[in-house]
Amino acid sequence: MLRKIKYFLNDIKPKELLDKLTREVYSNPFIHVFTDSIIEESSGFVGNFNTKIKIQNKRIFELKHGAVLIAVGAKEYKPNEYLYGQNEHVVTNLELVEKIFNKDEKLLNAESVAFIQCVGCRNEERNYCARVCCSNSIKLALKLKEHKPNMDVYVIYRDIRTYGFLEQYYKEASEKDVRFIRYEAEEKPTIIGENGKIKVRVKDFVQNKILEIEIDYLSLASAVIPNEDSKEVAKLLKVNLGPNNFFQEAHVKLRPVDCGAEGVYLAGSCHYPKHLFETINQAIGAAGRIVTLVSKDTVIASGSVWCSGRKK
């Protein structure tokens, strides 16, 4: 996912961050990386796990280990609304990033671009906020303004949630004439595609009137959803998934990086959608918990209780 993001709101460059991390991992003699591999089987308990890894669809490597960290990430929801897949000028935010990064002439010469927020989430099917969408749309709006300051850029939103210090970029976008239009969940925008142009019709609840905006490109701020293999990983490691199929922590306040199963920990967006700095902080927390565990000579595990089922 870090390869696809390309830009951050601050001065951090994703490629430099990723390259640095990759060098550190591959140059560390105590880290072993298995690529193109799948977990065939996992058993055991805290301090004494046994995992069979199938490497490059050939040999089986058996690994004994004391702890597990789940960091399988998440992915972008591919919409089935707003003419996505039917009109080439309707893209997702990640697809728009790619076009900006590759200096797509059609996009950078466009007169107007609109973003629609909360696509595929905060609804009956996925009743959660994807959290990163607002800041991502604002980041891309600022990038478009950087390339072409007189471009008309619209962000059609339900609620702007650029929490923390990201709020300053929302203010910056407003000052650069990015136009924010609020809609209600009951009255979502409607899209009309004709003659190579896209028309967005939306009720502006601030002005209390219907707006019709003609644009060249439409970018959808799609939900962050779990990877398909999350269920398989959860089954292998005997841990729980939450209502939306993200991995569930043992306790939201007291054990936020622990799974219910002892010795299994969480980091990143497989837990729930989060920004990079939140992912890094959670990973540091999980690493600290693992170090505390594996630095001990022995681990006391809870005993197994067997009942014959006979009446007394």
Please write the tens of the pLDDT for every residue from 90-115: 999 999 999 999 999 999 999 999 99
* DSSP of 161-212: ---GGGHHHHHHHHHTT-EEEE--TTS--EEEEETTEEEEEEEETTTTEEEE
Q: Which two tokens stand for residue 65?
A: 């280990």
What would the pLDDT profile of 116-136 be if each residue is shown by its tens digit? 999 999 999 999 999 999 999
Please give the mean pLDDT across all residues of the chain.
93
pLDDT of 305 over the 70 cut: no
* Domains of the chain in sequence order: 2-74+226-294 (3.50.50.60), 78-224 (3.50.50.60)
pLDDT of residue 312: 46
pLDDT at 85: 93
Q: Is the pTM of this model over 0.75?
A: yes
What is d(CA 170, CA 20) in angstroms, rounded to the nearest whole number?
30
Confidence of residue 299 (pLDDT cuts 50, 70, 90): confident
pLDDT reported for residue 306: 64
- Does residue 311 carry a pLDDT above 60? no
Q: Is it the case that residue 308 has pLDDT exceeding 90? A: no
- C-alpha–C-alpha distance, residues 90 and 218, integer Å: 5
Label each residue of 46-80 as H, E or C: CCEEEEEEEECCCEEEEEEECCEEECCCEEECCCC
3 state DSSP class of 89: coil
pLDDT at 94: 97
Q: Is the pLDDT of residue 32 over 60?
A: yes
* Confidence tier at 307 by pLDDT (50, 70, 90): low
Report the sign of the C-alpha dihedral through residues 207, 210, 216, 217, in that order: positive
Q: What 3-state class would DSSP assign to 127?
A: coil
pLDDT at 197: 81
pLDDT above 90: residue 191: yes
Q: Tell me the pairing of strands 197-204 and 209-215.
A: antiparallel
The string of pLDDT tens digits covering residues 194-235 is 777 899 999 988 888 999 999 999 999 999 999 999 999 999
